[in-house]
Amino acid sequence: MIPEVVVLADPASAAAAAAERVAAICARTVAARGACAVALSGGDTPKPLYARLAEEPYRREVPWDRLEVFWGDERCVPPDDARSNFHMAHETLLAKVSIPAEHIHRMPADTVDHEAAARAYAEMLRARLPATADGWPRFDLILLGIGANAHVASLFPRTAALRERNRAVVAELVEDAAMWRMTLTVPVLTRAAAILFLGTGASKAEAVRAGLEGPADGYDVPAALIRPVDGRVTWILDAAAASRLTGRAGRV
């Protein structure tokens, strides 16, 4: 399916548009199946989105108690470490809305045995999420950012995690990030019902271009591998991040 590309003037407008999409997908999914499984992204880009979702009208209107919250990736640090994606989401959003604690499923990336922790997270996903016809856990919504090197979640260029086709979750020492990371893999990401990329700033412009308009088989450009099997993908960008797009990929 052709990606939808939405370009806003600045990061605040992009966050506002993303909040509107997230709220609409959550409301629609909860109305349809009584729950909504969302995977959050980390890094700096989603902070204004999460802050916006914690404010009215979303704080009141989103059916928070029906959400099941997961992560697309995690840094292998304790959950109270400032670098933790769980920590960031907790501070900006989760502590401010009424999601039952048992619906919040952080990646146990601080466990010493990273591979066992990745297996446990994959098993938990299989237990809690609906399954696709080919047996993968199916998220209702996956939020993604993009690195300047076009990494998504913790799938970095030219790494083993990027080539994983059997496991839903893996952990790997990522040299580019100088730390262990835990991440959902391409088969799970591409089977989500909806994927929402949020990209802002000129430093992301070339990665956004390569992800949207480059070849889909490039292991140098992880973002280009996120082509949904049967879901919808939307890129919400500010003008700076969209500045190198030619419009060939979709509706700009």
Regarding 18 and contact with ligand 6PG (CB under 6 A), the answer is no
Stretch that binds ligand 6PG, among 122-130, 142-150, 185-193, 222-230 (CB under 6 A): 142-150
C-alpha of 73 from chain center: 8
| Number of residues forming the site for ligand 6PG (CB under 6 A) | 15
- CB hemisphere CA count around 232 (13 angstroms): 11
Interface characters, 50-79, with ligand 6PG (x: CB under 6 A): -----------------------x-x----
Instruction: Give CA separation, 125 vs 31, 47, 69, 105, 195, in Å.
Output: 22, 25, 11, 9, 17
Q: Is residue 44 helix, strand or coil?
A: coil
- Per DSSP, what are the bridge partners of residue 137? 131
Regarding 147 and contact with ligand 6PG (CB under 6 A), the answer is yes
C-alpha of 3 from chain center: 16
CB of 145 to ligand 6PG, least distance (A): 2
Ranges within 73-132 binding ligand 6PG (CB under 6 A): 73, 75, 85
Regarding 41 and contact with ligand 6PG (CB under 6 A), the answer is yes
Regarding 250 and contact with ligand 6PG (CB under 6 A), the answer is no
- CB hemisphere CA count around 22 (13 angstroms): 32
The residues binding ligand 6PG (CB under 6 A) are 41-45, 73, 75, 85, 145-147, 151-154
